[in-house]
């Protein structure tokens, strides 16, 4: 399967409460690369598990250590990487997470007797995005406090300053605007001496939407620094957006040459793997399989994880087209074998549960692709092994997409009395697809020698699925005011949430680059079609988090190409998506006639049927509650 059935950014979960233990560490101010000893004292005699991760730059990596129990305490010693800035821990005691009263357990690494630069910037990321596994819900107040501490110790950290100003602007528009204007005035008064000064001031102009000032400043920067790093940045942007494969290959070669020979391109050396991956993705998009194979052979590609993902995506496209299946098998086998090896290594090394789960999930996705290719190649028994892994070993029947490939292979290999109960369970659990129901229909007709009664049979299974769904949705029912918005749609018409009061409104946040969003659109199209004659139900699709130059043009072309009959609104400054507290897309909010959010739905599970059923039930509940 292509990498689509997840949210673009992870959703947050709820965690059970626990009496807090005490975690201590030494030395008091550890330095990067230095050994750290931690000691955890639980408040009761319960089994304890401790795992840790360190931020290297702005991304966390698992630490490899084992905490040992002695005299009722758990102790571990480990070394951090020399590039590390912050360490955090996940502590599970008695089966529940100890989140240190919502603060989490973190250690700032020190340099020159103060927190290392970016240590508290990393801590702000922990509080906003990465604390999930440690029992920390997204906490903007703690994140802001960490950013302010970063600026306190490192006033030259402009990235942290920008983040502080953005958060304060989001909290209070007038006060935030005044703070940003004050910083603009201070930068101008100090004088623009370097290209970095110009870039910082341009960021500030961008935040407060002073487009004319930003444009004039960029022109001045280019005139003053004709061989500045902006040249490299602009060339890379053009390269990433280039659609013509031949032109892209030329630009790639030129970029590599520039990185090796021109001083203003030297800082882009770390971007080469990303540039290479983008080129290989372009071969896949163009379905130039010979060119892809040649590029992989001739270009050094050390990142096997990234290469496996590219192979998987290529194999899935070949499966969809039904062409080059021999090459698809080769690619699928490589990706699946590598992913299984990485999962096995993660378990052997006893990495964090989150890391192991990620490796396991990747294997499931690749195994599903490989199974689908083998299905289309007529290698049913071999394919069934991988389909069974994806559908059961990895997801325990929770992925409708994986279940569908399994069902299609099981039909070819197994007797009906063996696979029929499992397919019925998929339907009852709400994890089926139209393909699964079609197979059940074939079995029913074979058994009954007639289609008569099949509708009642499948309806009974679906009724149970809907009963379970309603029970689950009842637990998720909310009742909080929906942030109001006023946005322009692609036709230039203004759409205000307040003017939709009295109606049930489905607000769907999405982006053109978001695989799960796009995968959900056929189901959303069906859902919208279902309510087309109901004047009291309205759908709006808010586009946000785009990173292209001409957002309206890009989005309009995307919607036209897909023939999606959606009312698309443009959240150009990402303020609306911010006001809704969205952490991952697609995210849908069901807003009732009184303007209150009743349900929040994050991600896409892979089944159009389930999406329509779930949305329909949410809408019905929102109408009646």
| Location of structure tokens 């700032």 | 108
Which of 271, 255, 251, 237 has its CA nearest to residue 549? 237
Q: In the prediction, which pLDDT does 77 show?
A: 96
DSSP H or E stretch at residue 619: helix 608-624
Cα–Cα distance, 65 to 78 (Å, whole number): 6
Question: Which of the four pLDDT bands, split at 50, 70 and 90, describes residue 173?
Answer: confident
CA angle 51, 56, 59 (to 5 degrees): 80
Which candidate, 431, 430, 429, 480, places its Cα nearest to that of 599?
480
- Phi, psi at 462, each rounded to 5°: -70, -35
pLDDT in tens, 31-90: 999 999 999 999 888 889 999 999 997 789 889 898 999 988 999 999 999 999 999 999
* Nearest alpha carbon to residue 314 among 344, 337, 293, 339: 293
- Could you tell me if residue 484 is inside a domain? yes
The answer to whether 88 touches 126, Cβ cutoff 8 Å, is: yes
- Is 2 contained in some domain? no
Model confidence at 17: pLDDT above 50 = no
Do 45 and 158 lie in a common domain? yes
Region of residue 142 (left: phi > 0; alpha: psi -120 to 50; beta: else): alpha
Q: Within a 10 A sphere around the Cβ of 624, how many other Cβ atoms?
A: 7
- Between residues 475 and 409, the one the model is more confident about: 409
The pLDDT, as a whole number, for residue 16 is: 41
**Residues 286, 278: Cα–Cα separation, whole Å:** 12
Pairing assessment for the beta strands 480-481 and 596-602 based on DSSP bridges: antiparallel
CATH of residue 538 = 3.40.30.10
Do 485 and 469 lie in one domain? The reply is no
- Sign for the CA dihedral angle at 215, 220, 226, 232 comes to negative
| Phi, psi torsion values for 85, nearest 5 degrees | -120, -30
Same domain, residue pair 63 and 178: yes
How sure is the predictor about 14, in pLDDT bands with cuts at 50, 70 and 90?
very low
Domain termination site, one of 272, 299, 326: 299
Residue 96: strand pairing partners:
93
Q: What is the pLDDT of residue 185?
A: 96
In whole angstroms, what is the distance from residue 75 CA to residue 69 CA?
Answer: 7
Q: Over the stretch 341-398, which tens digit does the pLDDT of each residue have?
A: 999 999 988 777 778 899 999 999 999 999 999 999 999 999 999 999 999 999 999 8
* pLDDT averaged over every residue in the chain: 90
Q: Is residue 61 part of a domain?
A: yes
Distance CA 436, CA 198 (A): 59
Rounded-to-integer distance, Cα 235 and Cα 251, Å: 8
Are residues 445 and 489 part of one domain? Answer: no
Does some domain include residue 117? yes
The pairing of strands 22-26 and 596-602 is unpaired
234 inside domain: no
Query: What percent of the chain has a predicted confidence (pLDDT) above 70?
Result: 97
CATH of the domain at 340: 1.25.40
What is the C-alpha to C-alpha distance for residues 360 and 392, in angstroms, rounded to an integer? 12
Max mean pLDDT range (159-173, 367-381, 547-561): 367-381
Output DSSP code: residue 410.
H
The tokens of 173 are what? 């528009």
Query: What does the pLDDT read at residue 36?
Result: 97
Omega before 586 within 30 of 0, i.e. cis: yes
Residue 54 is part of a domain; what is its CATH number? 2.60.40.10
Confidence of residue 3 (pLDDT cuts 50, 70, 90): low
Torsion sign (Cα): 419, 424, 430, 436: positive
Whether residues 506 and 580 share a domain: the answer is: yes
* Cβ neighbourhood burial of 191 (10 Å; 0-12, 13-18, 19+): exposed
Q: Out of 45-54, 90-99, 228-237, 462-471, which region has the weakest mean confidence (pLDDT)? A: 462-471
**pLDDT of res. 326:** 93
Task: State the pLDDT at residue 604.
Answer: 86
Give the C-alpha separation, 252 to 259, whole Å. 11
- Domain check: are 418 and 489 in the same one? no
The whole-number pLDDT of residue 609 equals: 80
Tokens of 380: 């049913």
Do 492 and 456 share a structural domain? no
Paired strand residues for 600: 589
According to the model, what pLDDT value does residue 8 have?
A: 47
Which among 267, 299, 331 is the end of a domain? Answer: 299
Say how far apart CA 110 and CA 35 lie, in whole Å: 13
In a domain, 429, yes or no: yes
Peptide bond into 180 cis (omega under 30): no
Partners of residue 506 on adjacent β-strands:
539, 590
Looking at the fold, whether 178 and 320 belong to one and the same domain comes out as: no
Residue 103 inside a domain? The answer is yes
Take residue 128 and report the two structure tokens written for it.
């906003």
Cβ–Cβ < 8 Å for 577, 545: yes
pLDDT band at 13 (very low <50, low <70, confident <90, very high): very low
* Same domain, yes or no: 80 and 207: yes
In a domain, 10, yes or no: no
- pLDDT tens-digit map of 497-524: 999 999 999 999 999 988 889 989 999 9
Q: Is residue 341 located within the same domain as residue 465?
A: yes
The pLDDT of residue 579 is above 80: yes
Query: Which range of residues forms the domain containing residue 468?
Result: 300-473
Q: What is the pLDDT of residues 287-321, one digit of tens each?
A: 898 888 888 888 877 788 888 999 999 999 999 98
DSSP conformation class of 595 = S
Which of 273, 299, 325 is the endpoint of a domain?
A: 299
Question: Cα 171 to the chain's mean position, in Å?
Answer: 25
pTM of the entire predicted model: 0.74
* Residue 173 or 196, more confident: 196
Confidence of residue 1 (pLDDT cuts 50, 70, 90): low
Decide if 306 contacts 276 (C-beta within 8 A).
no
| Number of domains the chain is built from | 4
270 and 177 share one domain: no
Angle 310-337-517 from CA coordinates, rounded to 5°? 40
**Distance between CA atoms of residues 578 and 591, nearest Å:** 17
Which pair of structure tokens corresponds to residue 607? 């089944």
Question: In the chain, what is the greatest distance between 2 CA atoms, to the nearest angstrom?
Answer: 87
Any bridge partners for residue 76, and if so which? Answer: 38
597: left (phi over 0), alpha (psi -120 to 50) or beta: beta
Give the pLDDT confidence of 471-504 residue by residue, as tens digits.
788 888 889 999 999 999 999 999 999 999 999 9
**Same domain for 492 and 395:** no
């Amino acid at each position: 399967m292509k990498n689509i059935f997840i949210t673009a950014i992870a959703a947050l979960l709820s965690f059970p409460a626990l009496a807090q233990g005490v975690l201590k560490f030494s030395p008091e101010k550890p330095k990067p690369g230095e050994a750290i000893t931690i000691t955890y004292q639980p408040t009761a005699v319960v089994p304890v598990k401790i795992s840790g991760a360190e931020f290297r730059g702005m991304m966390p990596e698992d630490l490899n250590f084992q905490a040992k129990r002695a005299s009722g305490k758990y102790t571990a010693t480990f070394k951090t990487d020399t590039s590390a800035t912050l360490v955090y821990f996940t502590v599970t005691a008695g089966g529940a997470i100890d989140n240190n009263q919502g603060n989490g357990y973190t250690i700032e690494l020190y340099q020159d007797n103060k927190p290392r630069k970016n240590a508290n910037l990393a801590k702000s990321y922990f509080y906003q995005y990465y604390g999930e596994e440690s029992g920390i819900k997204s906490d903007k107040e703690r994140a802001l406090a960490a950013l302010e501490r970063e600026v306190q110790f490192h006033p030259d950290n402009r990235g942290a300053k920008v983040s502080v100003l953005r958060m304060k602007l989001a909290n209070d528009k007038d006060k935030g605007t005044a703070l940003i204007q004050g910083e603009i005035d201070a930068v101008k008064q100090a004088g623009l001496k370097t290209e970095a000064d110009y870039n910082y001031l341009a960021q500030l102009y961008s935040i407060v939407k002073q487009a004319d000032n930003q444009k004039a400043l960029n022109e001045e920067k280019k005139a003053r620094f004709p061989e500045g790093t902006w040249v490299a940045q602009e060339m890379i942007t053009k390269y990433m957006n280039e659609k013509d494969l031949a032109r892209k290959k030329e630009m790639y070669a030129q970029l590599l040459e520039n990185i090796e020979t021109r001083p203003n391109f030297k800082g882009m050396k770390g971007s080469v793997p990303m540039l290479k991956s983008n080129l290989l993705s372009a071969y896949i998009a163009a379905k130039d399989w010979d060119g892809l194979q040649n590029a992989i052979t001739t270009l050094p590609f050390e990142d096997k994880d990234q290469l496996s993902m590219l192979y998987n995506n290529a194999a899935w496209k070949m499966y969809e087209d039904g062409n080059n299946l021999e090459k698809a098998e080769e690619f699928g086998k490589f990706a699946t074998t590598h992913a299984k090896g990485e999962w096995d290594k993660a378990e052997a090394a006893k990495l964090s549960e989150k890391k192991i789960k990620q490796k396991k999930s990747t294997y499931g996705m690749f195994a599903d692709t490989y199974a689908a290719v083998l299905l289309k190649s007529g290698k049913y028994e071999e394919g069934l092994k991988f389909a069974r892994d994806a559908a059961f070993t990895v997801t325990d029947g929770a992925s409708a997409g994986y279940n569908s490939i399994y069902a299609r292979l099981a039909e070819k290999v197994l007797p009906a009395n063996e696979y029929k109960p499992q397919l019925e369970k998929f339907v009852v659990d709400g994890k089926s697809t139209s393909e699964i129901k079609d197979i059940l229909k074939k079995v029913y007709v074979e058994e009954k020698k007639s289609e008569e009664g099949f509708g009642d049979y499948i309806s009974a299974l679906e009724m149970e699925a809907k009963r379970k769904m309603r029970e689950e949705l009842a637990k998720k029912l909310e009742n909080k005011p929906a942030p109001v918005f006023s946005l322009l749609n692609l036709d230039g018409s203004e759409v205000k949430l307040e003017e939709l009061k009295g109606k049930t409104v489905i607000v769907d946040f999405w982006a053109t680059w978001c695989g799960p969003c796009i995968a959900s659109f056929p189901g959303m199209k069906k859902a919208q079609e279902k309510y087309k004659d109901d004047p009291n139900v309205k759908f709006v699709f808010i586009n946000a988090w785009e990173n292209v130059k001409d957002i309206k043009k890009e989005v309009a072309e995307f919607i036209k190409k897909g023939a999606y009959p959606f009312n698309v609104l443009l959240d150009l400054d990402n303020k609306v998506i911010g006001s809704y507290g969205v952490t991952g897309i697609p995210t849908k909010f069901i807003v009732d006639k009184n303007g209150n959010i009743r349900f929040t739905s994050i991600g896409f599970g892979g089944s159009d049927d389930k999406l329509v059923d779930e949305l329909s039930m949410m809408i019905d509940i929102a109408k009646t509650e």
